[in-house]
A = this chain, B = another copy of it.
Amino acid sequence: MNQSARSASTHFRAALGAFATGVTIVTTRDSAAADVGLTASSFNSVSLDPPMVLWSLAKDSLSLPAFMECGHFGVHVLASNQQALADRFATRGADKFSGLTVTRGPDGIPLLSGCSARFQCKTAFRHQGGDHVIFVGEVVAFDHLELPPLVFHSGRYAIATPKPESASSSWNVTEDSSSSFSQDFLIFMLGRAHYQLFLRLRRELEQHGLAEGEWFVLSILGAGTRRTLSELDELVGCTGTRVTYDQLAGLAAAGFVQLHGAYDGDVQVELTANGRQAVIELIAAAKAAESDAERHLGVDESRLLKQWVKQIIQDSDPGPPATWREVGN
């Protein structure tokens, strides 16, 4: 392929990448009874009656002889949490089946578990497809688990989430149905979600005699490092809460922290053993409140939610404290 053709091929690959696909692992057994498998996104459905699926394999693939010789193959549609498996089976020369529990299908083909769908196929046709062979398989058995799918798009892994509806139909908290502002404003929604999560933590905080700002201070100290008042104030300040010397003295009197040195912004603060115990209990309570509030979001959704809120935080960051405190006070 000359340089210009190579460049055309790069553009063609990129254009093909615009079509999102699931990710599959296709397996078979070679004539020496060794397990063979590879990651493929070229899978698709073909026929319902008889049930048939297809995928295609490069003619120069080392696995081609096995798929040509064996009369059966297995297609495993990967779930979102199987990215490592996809990477492993995409790596030439990897010991792909090492450590995996496989069961056996027709002709002894290896079958993997934990996939969102699995098709055991009898090769029905092998068709011409340029530099690839198109394998059409008649499905002789299949399994299906309702799992979030692993997706491939534009050369990278993705997750698929049901398309949000443009109307606010999923929003049925009764008291808000007549007020437009709460439905439309992210600022309100963030404030309300924060407040409600905080309510769940409040009882726990009250048992320790702590206010929210004090809990933020203890959490920061929970990372293990001594901090000065100035540092704490800067770290907590981005939530709109200030840290004062009196507050720290109160925490010290209650036995949560020890103060060292100066009586101003330079005072060093560190957790006591009691304080550390309180932090552990409160972190557990906060995590429990979060998990409960996130119970209808999947693992990927929860992670994405945090990623996007972080993006909002970065993109609304008012800059260094010295500048934005002027606005804030």
Q: Which residues of A contact B (CB under 8 A)?
A: 1, 5, 9, 11-16, 18-22, 24, 41-54, 56, 77, 80, 83, 116-117, 119, 124-125, 127-132, 134, 136, 138-139, 142-147, 149-151, 153-154, 156-164, 166, 168, 170-173, 175-176, 178-182, 185-203, 216, 219-220, 222-223, 225, 234-235, 238-240, 283, 286, 289-290, 292-297, 300-301, 303-318, 321, 324, 327-328
Complexed CA–CA distance, A310 and B184 (Å): 11
Cβ contact of A195, chosen from B176, B181, B238, cutoff 8 A: B238
- Known interface pairs A77-B18, A197-B316; A164-B43 also in contact (CB < 8 Å): no
Indicate if the CB atoms of A187 and B182 lie closer than 8 Å. Answer: no
Contacts of A150 in B (CB 8 A): 163
Complexed CA–CA distance, A328 and B202 (Å): 8
Looking at the assembled complex, report how far the CB atom of A313 sits from the nearest CB atom of chain B, in whole angstroms.
Answer: 5
Q: Can you add 14 more A-B contacts, CB < 8 Å, to A19-B149, A175-B321?
A: A21-B21, A42-B46, A47-B129, A52-B129, A54-B54, A124-B130, A127-B134, A130-B138, A172-B314, A186-B309, A196-B238, A196-B316, A196-B318, A202-B328
Contacts of A173 in B (CB 8 A): 313-314, 317
Complexed CA–CA distance, A125 and B194 (Å): 59
Indicate if the CB atoms of B153 and A149 lie closer than 8 Å. Answer: yes
Indicate if the CB atoms of A189 and B309 lie closer than 8 Å. Answer: yes
Looking at the assembled complex, report how far the CB atom of A252 sits from the nearest CB atom of chain B, in whole angstroms.
Answer: 20
Q: State the number of copies, please.
A: 2
Looking at the assembled complex, report how far the CB atom of A7 sits from the nearest CB atom of chain B, in whole angstroms.
Answer: 13
Indicate if the CB atoms of A158 and B163 lie closer than 8 Å. Answer: yes
Most chain B CB neighbours (cut-off 10 Å) among A15, A128, A131, A327: A15
Complexed CA–CA distance, A227 and B54 (Å): 62
Complexed CA–CA distance, A124 and B173 (Å): 56
Indicate if the CB atoms of A310 and B171 lie closer than 8 Å. Answer: yes
Cβ contact of A19, chosen from B117, B316, B324, cutoff 8 A: B117
Complexed CA–CA distance, A139 and B16 (Å): 11
Of all A-B residue pairs in the complex, the 6 with the closest CB atoms, nearest first, are A47-B130, A181-B219, A18-B117, A190-B194, A15-B144, A293-B316
Complexed CA–CA distance, A130 and B172 (Å): 47
Contacts of A19 in B (CB 8 A): 21-22, 24, 43-45, 77, 117, 149
Looking at the assembled complex, report how far the CB atom of A305 sits from the nearest CB atom of chain B, in whole angstroms.
Answer: 5
Indicate if the CB atoms of A134 and B54 lie closer than 8 Å. Answer: yes
Contacts of A5 in B (CB 8 A): 49
- Known interface pairs A20-B20, A149-B18; A181-B222 also in contact (CB < 8 Å): yes
Indicate if the CB atoms of A296 and B311 lie closer than 8 Å. Answer: yes
